[in-house]
Amino acid sequence: MDTRRPVNLTDALASFDDVYSPRIVARMNDYDVRIAKTEGEHVWHVHDDTDEFFLVLDGRFDIAMRDRHGNESTVVLHQGDTFVVPKGTEHKPSSPGGAILMFEPSGTSTTGDRHEGDIPDHVDSTAGHEL
Amino acid sequence: MDTRRPVNLTDALASFDDVYSPRIVARMNDYDVRIAKTEGEHVWHVHDDTDEFFLVLDGRFDIAMRDRHGNESTVVLHQGDTFVVPKGTEHKPSSPGGAILMFEPSGTSTTGDRHEGDIPDHVDSTAGHEL
């Protein structure tokens, strides 16, 4: 990846079809900027050591979360909405269709340090792919 | 700032008018997600210890850079374009009008560790403001 050239997000999103399979569009310090298409249910998972930033680029993206008592709540996000899932928070994304941008430390797995149940076939357990 | 509520970038941009005066829309780990309106010439400056990520949300945003030999080049960015200015790179943004999103370590100054000449009145030397 030539980091000295701009990457356009619209072009980048048009370059692949997979859902829940992030592409790395930029690296800064030891962080990745990743984009992903979203559709269907992700898996309950948790990142013990890092927050996770989301920006919805297109469509709708929901994040179900559990607090320390096991109570669930869901934030419903539309285009232009930003949200941070705090470290240590169990969460499960879902989407009727959309695209997101994420900031997270390089190496962070899409399915967290721990996940619940089987990983669905349409969810790619990865630290991100090159564009 | 309630970090548990989504922030919409369109609403956030509509909440202020100043140019080159970033607002912090989200924090994740020890990083800020900031947005700014852009118009006119910024100032030549350098961040010795951090890369800086830019996403153009609206309009046009140019970044002039100098290499180690003092040679200048400029990247011209439009809506949806992303770009990383590597740490230690002298750079000067300019814009005919636009809006950007930035990702950088909390505390990073808009005018860097060093800058060249006087800071113009329309450039806010700051580590970002609350929305």
**Average pLDDT for A66-82:** 95
- Mean pLDDT computed over every residue of chain A: 94
- What does the pLDDT look like over A19-28, one tens digit per residue? 999 999 999 9
- Give me the pLDDT at residue A8, please: 98
Is B26 within 8 Å of A82 when comparing Cβ atoms? yes
pLDDT recorded at residue B105: 97
Mean pLDDT of chain B: 95
Mean pLDDT over residues A61-78, rounded?
A: 95
Q: Is the pLDDT of residue A97 over 90?
A: yes
DSSP 8-class letter at B87: T
Provide the number of CB pairs (under 8 Å) joining chain A to chain B: 90
The model's confidence at residue A127, banded by pLDDT at 50, 70 and 90, is very high
For A98, the token pair is 């959309």
The residues of B whose Cβ lies within 8 A of any Cβ of A are: 3, 5-11, 25-29, 31, 33, 50-53, 55, 75, 77-78, 80-84, 86-87, 101, 103-105
Q: Nearest CA to CA, how far is B111 from chain A (Å)? A: 18
Minimal Cα distance from A67: which residue of B? B4
How near does any CA of chain B get to the CA of A93, in Å?
A: 15
Is A47 a residue whose pLDDT tops 70? Answer: yes
SS3 B73: strand
The pLDDT, as a whole number, for residue A3 is 53
Distance CA A32, CA A102 (A): 8
Mean pLDDT in residue range A18-39: 97
CA distance A109 to A126: 5
ipTM for the predicted complex comes to: 0.94
Rounded to the nearest 10 degrees, how much is the dihedral formed by the CA atoms of B86, A7, A122, A104?
Answer: 20
Q: Which residue of chain B is at minimal alpha-carbon distance from A88? A: B29
For residue B14, give the H/E element and its range.
helix B9-14
Nearest to A84 among B27, B50, B75 (CB): B27
Which residue ranges of chain B lie beneath pLDDT 70? 1-3
